[in-house]
Amino acid sequence: MELLIFARGPALWTSVLVLVAGTVWRVWGIFRRPAKADLSEPRSTRFAAGAWRMILWRMIPKREFRSSATLATSNAYLYHIGLAVIVFGYLPHIAFVERLSGLFWPPLPAAIVYFAMAVTFVSLLIALMYRLTDPVLRLISSFDDYFSWFIVFLPLATGMAVLNEPFAPGAAPSEPLDPLPLALHLLSVELLVVWLPFGKLAHSFLVFISRGMTGAAFARRGIRP
Task: With beta carbons less than 8 A apart as the criterion, state whether 106 and 97 touch.
Answer: no
CA distance 4 to 159: 14
**Which CATH number belongs to the domain containing residue 217 in this structure?**
1.20.950
**Is residue 99 predicted with pLDDT exceeding 80?**
yes
pLDDT tens, position by position, 117-170: 999 999 999 999 989 998 988 999 999 999 999 999 999 999 988 886 555 554
Residue type, 178: D
Do the domain assignments include residue 38?
Answer: no
Based on its alpha-carbon atoms, the radius of gyration of the chain, rounded to whole angstroms, reads 21
Q: Within 63-222, where are the H helices?
A: 63-66, 71-89, 91-101, 110-133, 135-140, 143-162, 179-195, 203-221
pLDDT tens, position by position, 202-214: 988 888 888 888 8
Sign for the pseudo-dihedral over CA of 202, 12, 128, 124: negative
Do the domain assignments include residue 27?
Answer: no
What 3-state class would DSSP assign to 196?
A: coil
Task: With beta carbons less than 8 A apart as the criterion, state whether 197 and 25 touch.
Answer: yes
Name residues whose C-beta falls within 8 Å of residue 177's C-beta, 6 or more positions apart in sequence.
Answer: 165, 166, 167, 168
Report residue 175's pLDDT band, with 50, 70 and 90 as the boundaries: low
| pTM recorded for the entire structure | 0.82
122 is in which domain, residue-wise?
2-17+70-221
**Is residue 221 predicted with pLDDT exceeding 80?**
no
Cα separation values, 139 from 122, 158, 159, Å? 24, 30, 32
Intra-chain end-to-end CA distance of the chain, in Å: 53
For the chain, the domain total comes to: 1
Q: Is 36 exposed, middle or buried (0-12, 13-18, 19+ CB in 10 A)?
A: exposed
C-alpha angle 133/153/186, rounded to 5°? 165
CA distance 154 to 150: 6
Do the domain assignments include residue 23?
Answer: no
Do the domain assignments include residue 61?
Answer: no
Do the domain assignments include residue 9?
Answer: yes
Do the domain assignments include residue 45?
Answer: no
Do the domain assignments include residue 204?
Answer: yes
Do the domain assignments include residue 58?
Answer: no
CA distance 9 to 2: 10
pLDDT tens, position by position, 101-116: 889 999 999 899 999 9
Name residues whose C-beta falls within 8 Å of residue 166's C-beta, 6 or more positions apart in sequence.
Answer: 176, 177, 178
Backbone angles phi, psi at 30, to 5 degrees: -75, -50
